[in-house]
Chains A and B, each alone.
Chain A
Amino acid sequence: MIEFVEALGEHAFLRGALLAGLLASVACGVVGSYVVARRISYIAGGIAHCVLGGMGAARYFSVVHGWEWAHPLYGALAAAILGALVIGWVSLRLREREDTVISAVWSFGMAVGVLFIWKTPGYNEDLMNYLFGNILIISGHDLWLLGILDVCVLAMGVMCYRPLLAVCFDEEYARLRGVSVEFYYLLLLLLAAVTVVVLVTVVGIILAIAMLTLPAAAAGQFSRTLWRMMVTATLFCAGIVALGLAASYGPNLPAGATMIVLACLLYALATFLGPMVRGAKKA
């Protein structure tokens, strides 16, 4: 641990990684709580995985066609938003086939991504980085983008707290009170999409969904209200990121996978302790 703190002082890339992780924690805590409370982690999973299509396409066009501006994160953002809109539209219109469509979007995005990466010449280390993340190669440009996305998600998530809470708790009742349920449902999916993109840079596509839901679910065990859950989840996320980075630095382990193992342990512990804590409070 001391070794990590010393290294943090020496290496800018480590400070960048930690900063990226902490930025992601804020969006993750807020949006993850909405996702867990509304029980749409499967939808968030679909959005997360279809991101590969966008990243693969962006990489392909930048290498093969020389589109310098086509950064994989832009591709990820475009794919996530498109995936969220398709899933949202289907789930609002054709409820009974929702799960099938989510699986389709999920796999389609991944398949398209693999095809693009296959056709991109050169050594394809990228695929592993996209799938499992590599927080240590984050650039200054990535950090700026993360910061902007973070601010957008946080602003919307906090400003629309009341209608989003109402739509998550009881959609029908929210509609009766004049809340545009469709709008806020799509907004929620878009927030999830942007947050997923932020998380992909930290832990990668496959692990993003665990990072989005596990700290929030753990926080839910100890939180009476949604906003407390958000604050607790953000702290949990930040703790996991910092601890994961520190624990993986010494033995040279992949940081993303280390963080997810920690998130799973935290969730298991919270599920075990939650009922006891609640029982003790009541007594």
Chain B
Amino acid sequence: MSGTPLIEISGVTFAYDGSPTLEEVNLVLEEGDYACLIGPNGGGKTTLLKLILGLLHPQKGTIRVWGRPPEEARVRVGYIPQRHRLDPNFPADVLDVVLMGRLGTSSAFGPYRRRDKEAALACLREVEMEDFRHRSFAALSGGEQQRVLIARALACEPRLLLLDEPTANLDVHMEGALYDLLSRLNRRMSVALVSHDVGIVTRFARTVVCVNRRVLSHPTAELTGEMIQDMYGGDVLLVRHDLHCAHGEHT
């Protein structure tokens, strides 16, 4: 597999109806990367993720994941969708939700196998949610639900994690914990996440992918304020998390 890029998108154009959401997109991400997709709302970030997952199909161009079509590759891709899409009253407990990630690894009929349950519990342990396994998913806080959805994504033993706005509606503390978890997971798998929060890029991601109908990618170290301004087409409030002041400097 060495030499084959993780994701290779060439000449992709995609439109839902009428004018294209994404146009002439070229992008290469390497195995082990931690990429952050940023850009304005409606710029095509989620669309790009769905193309990589094979949930949408481009009108033009090709997408390869580990050199294969997305529909074949996605058995090894863990996806964490936007949480607000899910029914807030659905009757399922935490273990149920994580076990859904095991579908496709064994026969779908009859009850879950012991192996599936053990794998699901291991994933819950990984996100420190094992004690919540019999709690109702609907009754969890946003941050806890997000962790469970990550466990569900881990349950298929993925080599790539794709996350869509994982920090939406999380408080700062939860957000920090989530990024720590992703950094830890990045040691053994590639991570790509969509965010509207430019600040996180400088702290965690290795590659930043700017998505606004067209797509540009840069190593994080080269990202400048001008580039972000260009992409959003205006001033952006950018918080530099890599600069810290000593205690007492603020009054």
A226 touches B74 (CB 8 A): no
Q: Mark A215-243, 1 if CB is under 8 A from B, else 0.
A: 00000100111101100000000000000
A170 touches B81 (CB 8 A): yes
- With an 8 A cutoff between CB atoms, is A160 at the interface? yes
- With an 8 A cutoff between CB atoms, is B134 at the interface? yes
Q: A163 CA to B149 CA in the complex, in Å? A: 17
Q: Mark A7-42, 1 if CB is under 8 A from B, else 0.
A: 000000000000000000000000001000101000
Given known A163-B108, A169-B97, contact A177–B91 (CB-CB < 8 A): no
Chain A residues, CB < 8 A from B85 = 170, 172
- With an 8 A cutoff between CB atoms, is A119 at the interface? no
Q: Which of A170, A179, A282 contacts B108 (CB 8 A)?
A: A179
Q: A228 CA to B108 CA in the complex, in Å? A: 20
Chain A residues, CB < 8 A from B110 = 159
Specify the chain A residue showing the minimal Cβ separation from B54: A176
- With an 8 A cutoff between CB atoms, is B79 at the interface? yes
Q: How far is the CB of B63 from chain A (nearest CB, A)?
A: 15
Chain B residues, CB < 8 A from A168 = 90
- With an 8 A cutoff between CB atoms, is A174 at the interface? yes
A225 touches B75 (CB 8 A): no
- With an 8 A cutoff between CB atoms, is B92 at the interface? yes
A178 touches B103 (CB 8 A): yes
Interface size class of A (residues with CB under 8 A): 20 to 34
Given known A159-B109, A170-B81, contact A220–B103 (CB-CB < 8 A): no
Q: A161 CA to B96 CA in the complex, in Å? A: 11
B86 touches A224 (CB 8 A): no
Q: Which of A159, A160, A165, A169 contacts B86 (CB 8 A)?
A: A169
Q: Which of A169, A175, A278 contacts B55 (CB 8 A)?
A: A175
A172 touches B55 (CB 8 A): yes
A229 touches B100 (CB 8 A): no
- With an 8 A cutoff between CB atoms, is B101 at the interface? yes
B108 touches A173 (CB 8 A): no
Chain B residues, CB < 8 A from A65 = none
A 107-165 contacts with B by CB, 8 A: 159-163, 165
B interface residues, how many (CB within 8 angstroms): 33
Chain A residues, CB < 8 A from B90 = 37, 168-169
Q: Which of A165, A176, A179 contacts B74 (CB 8 A)?
A: A176
- With an 8 A cutoff between CB atoms, is A166 at the interface? yes
B 30-67 contacts with A by CB, 8 A: 53, 55
Chain B residues, CB < 8 A from A226 = 91-92, 96
Q: How far is the CB of A279 from chain B (nearest CB, A)?
A: 11
Specify the chain A residue showing the minimal Cβ separation from B86: A170
B101 touches A177 (CB 8 A): yes
Given known A162-B112, A169-B97, A278-B139, contact A177–B92 (CB-CB < 8 A): no
Chain B residues, CB < 8 A from A176 = 53, 55, 74, 77, 79
Specify the chain B residue showing the minimal Cβ separation from A278: B139
Q: How far is the CB of A37 from chain B (nearest CB, A)?
A: 6
Chain A residues, CB < 8 A from B87 = 37, 39, 169
B108 touches A169 (CB 8 A): no
B92 touches A225 (CB 8 A): yes
Q: A115 CA to B95 CA in the complex, in Å? A: 52
A177 touches B103 (CB 8 A): yes
- With an 8 A cutoff between CB atoms, is B205 at the interface? no
- With an 8 A cutoff between CB atoms, is B3 at the interface? no
A166 touches B103 (CB 8 A): yes
Q: A278 CA to B108 CA in the complex, in Å? A: 32
Q: How far is the CB of A208 from chain B (nearest CB, A)?
A: 22
Chain A residues, CB < 8 A from B91 = 33, 37, 220, 223-226, 228-229
Chain B residues, CB < 8 A from A225 = 91-93, 96
Q: A159 CA to B109 CA in the complex, in Å? A: 6
- With an 8 A cutoff between CB atoms, is B154 at the interface? no
- With an 8 A cutoff between CB atoms, is B136 at the interface? yes
Given known A159-B110, A177-B101, A177-B156, contact A165–B81 (CB-CB < 8 A): no
The listed residue with most B CB atoms (<10 A of its CB), out of A159, A177, A225, A278, is: A177
Chain A residues, CB < 8 A from B100 = 162, 165-166, 169-170, 173-174, 177
A178 touches B55 (CB 8 A): no
Chain A residues, CB < 8 A from B74 = 176
B104 touches A177 (CB 8 A): yes
Chain A residues, CB < 8 A from B93 = 224-225
Provide 7 A-B residue pairs closer than 8 Å at the C-beta atoms, listed in order of the A residue: A162-B103, A169-B100, A172-B85, A175-B55, A176-B53, A177-B75, A225-B91
With A169-B90, A176-B79, A224-B134 given, name 19 new contacts (CB 8 A): A37-B90, A159-B109, A160-B108, A162-B99, A162-B100, A162-B109, A162-B112, A168-B90, A169-B92, A169-B100, A170-B81, A173-B79, A174-B100, A177-B75, A177-B101, A179-B104, A220-B89, A226-B91, A278-B139
> What are the 10 closest A-B residue pairs judged by CB atoms, nearest first?
A178-B104, A177-B104, A177-B103, A224-B136, A166-B100, A163-B108, A229-B91, A226-B91, A224-B93, A225-B93
